[in-house]
Amino acid sequence: MGTRDDSDEAYVVGLCERILGESALAQHRFDWLLGDPGANGRRARPRRRHPDRRHRALKIAGSSGVPGPLLRSTLPTVPSIYRGPADRRRVRDWCLQRLGSWDVPHRRSEIRTEAGVTSVLLVGAEPVASSSTVVLVPGTNTNGAVCRHLTGALAARWPTVVLDVPGQPGLSADVRPRRGRSAWYGRWLTEALEQAVPGPALLVGHSLGGAVVLASDSPRIAGRLLLSSAGLVRLRVPMGVVAATVPWLARPTLPRSARLLRRMTAFDERVPDELTEWMTLVARSCRSSLAPPPLPPELLARRRSVPCVVATGRHDVFLPPQRLGSAAQRHLGARLHVLDDSGHLLLDESPDEVVALVARALASAYGDGA
């Protein structure tokens, strides 16, 4: 179970506060809901008696289906991204069906990590230890099944692996810790790379994926490409995006998903139907998943030892060039590349430009990007 601060209720209330410019009266106590005054003059909330106190415990079943020990309900520290088991199945079925319709050669496998099962999508040629592998780490609310156009373009030139991030909707484990997520994601990626690629890798991280890529210190990382990356600076959330997000969360529909997605594009353009369908499913089936805070400056300073290319869309509503550029230079010593015709959804808006940036990053890291 997640904390109240992590709930969809708290997220929507926070968005409404920003739109209205007023503070909500959260967790307010209504006197008329309390009991009559006692001998000491104080009112007590009526208590509901439970004849069986075993309701306080949860029976946890392992992956084998064998029941585990009884645990207090306050102990779980990894709330699921999904609202329930049926939602998890719906998301998984959607992703598998989407992958089944791809015309790009691919192979999916699963590996086990500290963070649980991780989906590994291999697109194109088989990676070998003697040459570079491009590893894509998607961002918030995305996964390999949603990245068909970009992965196909990458696989035409290099062996490409896509890792579904645990704790995000997709085909990897659905759990995530309440605290210390950056370090947890870093350990996950380091472990996943050891199993998923046989040699050095260029990591491509978008949005949340960029923060995950920065959090890992795996020796297999020969270079990083950060696309509209979290982890360097806090994301900016303009009122137009907030106004589109509230109805999308409150009552998800295809038109509302399309409206929100258009807010993230460069010119408020029409977005692909499959992306609109996906985001509608996410809002109906998943809990809120917010962007991570900036990583510690001392950690970012250590990442200077590996070549890094940083880029964002000129019209990115969350990480505009003027916001991300100074942070990239300050923390990583990297010059920001700006994609003129892109917003935050640059994986879908400008796949050819992203491929060119991958070639640039490979040339910087290995000298074999051409």
- pLDDT per residue rounded down to tens, the chain (370 residues): 455 555 556 666 666 655 555 566 666 554 434 455 556 665 555 444 444 433 333 232 333 333 333 323 333 446 799 999 999 999 999 999 999 999 999 999 999 999 999 999 999 999 999 999 999 999 999 999 999 999 999 999 999 999 999 999 999 999 988 888 999 999 999 999 999 999 999 999 999 999 999 999 999 999 999 999 999 999 999 999 999 999 999 999 999 999 999 999 998 878 899 999 999 999 999 998 777 899 999 999 999 999 999 999 999 999 999 999 999 999 999 999 999 999 999 999 999 999 999 999 999 987 654 3
Give 340-361 as a DSSP string.
TT--S-HHHH-HHHHHHHHHHH
Q: Is 366 exposed, middle or buried (0-12, 13-18, 19+ CB in 10 A)?
A: middle
CB atoms closer than 10 angstroms to residue 48: 5
Token pair of 214, please? Answer: 């920065």
Q: Which helix (H) or strand (E) holds 338?
A: strand 336-339
- 351-356's contacts with Cβ under 8 Å and 24+ in sequence apart are 351/149, 351/150, 351/153, 352/153, 354/150, 354/153, 354/204, 354/227, 354/311, 355/150, 355/153, 355/154, 355/157
Q: Which of 111, 114, 112, 130 is nearest to 122 (CA)?
A: 111
Beta bridge partners of 223: 202
pLDDT at 14 (0 to 100) = 64
Does residue 21 come out as left (phi exceeding 0), alpha (psi in the -120 to 50 range) or beta? left
C-beta separation of 114 from 188 below 8 A? yes
Could you count the other beta carbons within 10 Å of the beta carbon of residue 87? Answer: 20
CB distance 362 to 354 below 8 Å: no
* Residue positions counted in the chain: 370
**Which amino acid is located at 174 in the chain?**
D
Residues 6 or more apart from 210 whose CB is under 8 A from it?
137, 139, 226, 227, 228, 229, 230, 231, 232
Please tell me the number of Cα atoms within 13 Å of 306 on its side-chain side: 25
Domain ranges of the chain: 85-365
CATH class for the region spanning 85-365? alpha beta
Q: At what angle do helices 351-365 and 148-155 cross, to 10 degrees?
A: 40
In the chain, the N- to C-terminal Cα span, in Å, equals: 49
Residue 313: strand pairing partners: 339
